Amino acid sequence: MSGDSLDERLNAALAPYLRAGCLLAVSGGPDSTALMLAAAASRGPASLTVATVDHGLRPEARTEAEAVARQANVLGLSHRILVWTGPYPRAGLQAAARAARYRLLAAHAAQTGAAFLLTGHTLDDQAETVLMRLARGSGPAGLAGMRRERSLTPGLVLARPLLAFAKADLVAWCEAKAIAYQRDPSNADERFARTRLRQLRPLLEREGLTAARLARFAERAARDDDALRVIAEDALARLASKESRCLDGRALAHLPEAIALRVLDLALARAGAAEGRLERLERLLGEIRPALAAGMPLRRTFRGFLVAVGGDGTIRLAPAPPRRAAGPTELLGKG
């Protein structure tokens, strides 16, 4: 691929977003550096700002963030370093860091009035995400991988304009233009599942499981997931009360399982429940259906909500009461 054709592709990918205010999330790696350079070259009259998150996990992270700040200043772009001060969990560090990163970026986007938060995620990142979710047994929503666009907060859209670009092409683009970029040593840390899967990629590609095919699989899963969501939303409108906290359980039981799961998930989400794992939702529905068939009451606590099946077939959702503090005998296992 020639440099000119890649320039054109980058311009086309960024054009829909640069008409409005954008915040670029730039870590200093080749992907986000290419994003920043391409956006700066083709920006319009709308505001364009840059932010780098320093997670405080590596001593050199601050120096790397300052290098991004210098690059941004040369390009005439305003830059801010956002610092995550923890707390740092013992397990799930990458997930916690990712959540903190988006929280900090969303808050800064609100301050700058940005309509879009742009990240440098690539085709390779999408392929790795699909593999990770496949390994976890995800359903279609998870196997759809990273969406090109999704609402992050009210008024802010998270967009990934480079999702169709191979990382190798962006690295070559930076090197052809003598653009400096950084390498994050955590990308080679085998403690992280993404790193271990990345090392398997050459073997998988020899069997035909290329990044492009995994990305195409994600697109198809996203297409099917979107269709199922529309059907589930229509079913919920028919089965639920206005507040979505009471469901016609008997009608729910007659829905195909894939739709019933989504109706229950949507009802819980609209009631204010936190997100949860698919297998736990499957287990809950697996208990609800027999109770409905037998006309037996059932009460389960799920995602911070009390899910109660009445003898009349109505499913009611209500915030679960706070747990009673354990007394001394309970702590000793003598309750």
**Residue pLDDT, tens place only, 24-42:** 999 999 999 999 999 999 8
Confidence check: pLDDT of 329 > 60: no
Residue 47's contacts (CB-CB under 8 Å, 6 or more residues apart) are 21, 22, 112, 113, 114
CA dist 183 and 130 (Å) reads: 23
CA dist 99 and 33 (Å) reads: 22
Q: Using N-to-C axis directions, what is the helix angle for 3-14 and 167-176, rounded to 10°?
A: 110
From the number of C-beta atoms within 10 Å of its C-beta (0-12, 13-18, 19+), residue 227 rates as: exposed
Percent of the chain exceeding pLDDT 90 equals: 74
Determine whether the annotation assigns residue 31 to a binding site: yes
Residue 17's contacts (CB-CB under 8 Å, 6 or more residues apart) are 116, 118, 159, 161
Confidence check: pLDDT of 81 > 80: yes
The per-residue pLDDT for range 196-214, each reduced to its tens digit, is 888 888 899 999 999 999 9
Determine whether the annotation assigns residue 32 to a binding site: yes
Determine whether the annotation assigns residue 138 to a binding site: no
Helix H or strand E segment including 228 = helix 211-239
Do strands 48-54 and 22-25 pair parallel, antiparallel, or not at all (unpaired)?
parallel
CA dist 255 and 288 (Å) reads: 13
The per-residue pLDDT for range 43-73, each reduced to its tens digit, is 876 799 999 999 888 888 899 999 999 999 9
- What pLDDT, on the 0 to 100 scale, is given for residue 1? 44
Least confident of 156-165, 245-254, 321-330: 321-330
Token pair recorded at residue 329: 């005998």
Determine whether the annotation assigns residue 76 to a binding site: no
Query: What Cα–Cα distance (Å) separates residue 164 from each residue in 116, 161, 281, 290?
Result: 18, 8, 33, 45
Name the 3-class secondary structure at 252. helix
Mean of the per-residue pLDDT values of the chain:
90
- What pLDDT, on the 0 to 100 scale, is given for residue 46? 78
Domain at 3-214, CATH from 3.40.50.620, 3.40.50.2000, 3.40.640.10, 3.30.470.20:
3.40.50.620
Would you tell me how many other CB atoms lie within 10 Å of the CB of residue 309? 22
Contact 28, 54 (CB under 8 A): no
Question: What is the DSSP-derived secondary structure letter of residue 115?
Answer: S
- What pLDDT, on the 0 to 100 scale, is given for residue 331? 46
**Confidence tier at 315 by pLDDT (50, 70, 90):** very high
Do strands 305-309 and 298-302 pair parallel, antiparallel, or not at all (unpaired)?
antiparallel
Determine whether the annotation assigns residue 248 to a binding site: no
The per-residue pLDDT for range 269-299, each reduced to its tens digit, is 999 998 889 999 999 999 999 999 999 999 9
Phi/psi of residue 144, nearest 5 degrees: -70, -10
Cα angle for residues 199, 10, 41 (degrees, 5° grid): 120
Determine whether the annotation assigns residue 29 to a binding site: yes
